[in-house]
Amino acid sequence: MNIRSEEEIKIEKLFTWLNGEGYTPDDCHFKKEDYHYFRKNLLKKISIPDTTITPIMERFLYFIGSSKSIENIVVFGSYYGYALLWLLGGGIHNNNRKVSGIDIDFKACEGAKKNIEGINDFFSVGNKCSIYNENALKSLESFQDHSIDLCLLDIDVNGSKKEYIELLNIWENKLKPNCIILAHDPMVEKFHNDFHLFHNFIKTNDLYSSYITLPLDFCGIDIFKKRT
Ligand SMILES: C[S@@+](CC[C@H](N)C(=O)[O-])C[C@H]1O[C@@H](n2cnc3c(N)ncnc32)[C@H](O)[C@@H]1O
């Protein structure tokens, strides 16, 4: 018997709504059985000291990562790679996918590399995953790509999120038109002032579409696009 919890029904409705409103590509899909299979294997094979990515946020990242039109993904503040692996996991069968994580913390980057190696067998040949131990608030010489389709902003600089504005300013020319931008943590109380500034920045900047905040959990996530 296939019983769906209230939470599952709500999140599946939200996914349909996001597709309908054009926030996510039409081919984004969520297969519950595949999600559970991936989760079971992922949790067996990886090691993370902690994460604020909740099961409902995992589903969202898995859902959005499923689109075949999203080939090039970058996570700013990848830590041990948990959110990155969920974005990658959603497109497990997509060929030619490139996923990059950038983090300033050496130990976290080594951990992320190990986690990616641990789960490597799952992914289609042609998927390429790279971790850069770098400061994302500087333009990276080693990162030549100007074709990012989706990025997740999740750097946390000494307990602040106000650097999201600087991050977008530095990386804007590497984002493709229509690039989907996700910003983690708008619901966290201690970041309210930082997000107030960030939201004003998006609203008053012609480069970006209007954002919505998805209150999926206590962190929440913003979604918007770079305009064409
Ligand atoms: C909240 S954690 C990210 C959690 C992660 N996305 C996950 O999946 O669990 C924030 C990360 O931002 C990184 N960070 C802070 N400042 C940074 C910077 N200037 N450049 C790159 N990473 C940075 C920290 O080292 C930390 O790993």
Q: What pLDDT is attached to residue 6?
A: 82
Four-point Cα dihedral 105, 82, 117, 174, nearest 10: -70
Nearest CA to ligand 1 atom 6: 78
pLDDT of residue 125: 63
* Predicted TM-score (pTM) above 0.85: yes
State pLDDT tens for residues 124-171: 666 789 999 999 999 887 787 889 999 999 999 889 999 999 999 999
- The residue type found at 12 is E
Cα(131) to centroid of ligand 1, in Å? Answer: 12
Tell me what pLDDT residue 2 has. 64
- The answer to whether residues 61 and 90 touch, using CB atoms and an 8 Å cutoff, is yes
Q: How far is the CA of 79 from the centre of ligand 1 (A)?
A: 5
**154 Cα: distance to centroid of ligand 1 (angstroms):** 6
Query: Which residue in this structure is represented by tokens 């990012």?
Result: 148
Question: For a substitution probing ligand 1, which of 46, 51, 82, 104 has the most ligand atoms within 8 Å of its CB?
Answer: 104
What tokens were used for 19?
A: 């597709």
β-pair type (175-184, 221-225):
antiparallel
**Residue 8 has what pLDDT?**
84
- Chain centroid offset of residue 45 CA: 20
In whole angstroms, what is the distance from residue 136 CA to residue 103 CA?
7
Name the β-bridge partners of 212.
223
Determine the average pLDDT of the residues in 36-64: 95
* Tokens at 24, concatenated: 């996510």
Give residue 49 CA to ligand 1 midpoint distance, Å. 13
Q: Would you place residue 182 in the very low, low, confident or very high pLDDT band (cuts 50, 70, 90)? A: very high
The pLDDT score that the predictor gives to residue 31 is 92
Q: What is the pLDDT, as a whole number, of residue 128?
A: 85
pLDDT of residue 209: 96
Average pLDDT, the chain: 93
Instruction: Check pLDDT > 60 for residue 1.
Output: no
At residue 34, the pLDDT reads: 93
User: In the structure, what pLDDT confidence band is assigned to residue 184 with cuts at 50, 70 and 90?
Assistant: very high
Look at residue 126 in the predicted model and tell me its pLDDT: 67
Q: What is the pLDDT of residue 120?
A: 83
What pLDDT, on the 0 to 100 scale, is given for residue 205? 97
Among the listed residues 92, 89, 4, the one whose alpha carbon sits nearest the alpha carbon of residue 53? 89
Q: Report whether residue 54 contacts ligand 1, using a CB cutoff of 6 Å.
A: no
Span 97-129, pLDDT tens digits: 899 999 999 999 999 999 999 988 877 666 789
pLDDT, mean of residues 192-217: 97
Tokens 């130990």 label which residue? 107
DSSP string, 97-125: -EEEEEES-HHHHHHHHHHHHHTGGGSPT
Looking at residue 3, what is its pLDDT? 67
Is pLDDT above 70 for 176?
Answer: yes
Low-confidence winner among 4-13, 18-27, 74-83, 105-114 (lowest mean pLDDT): 4-13
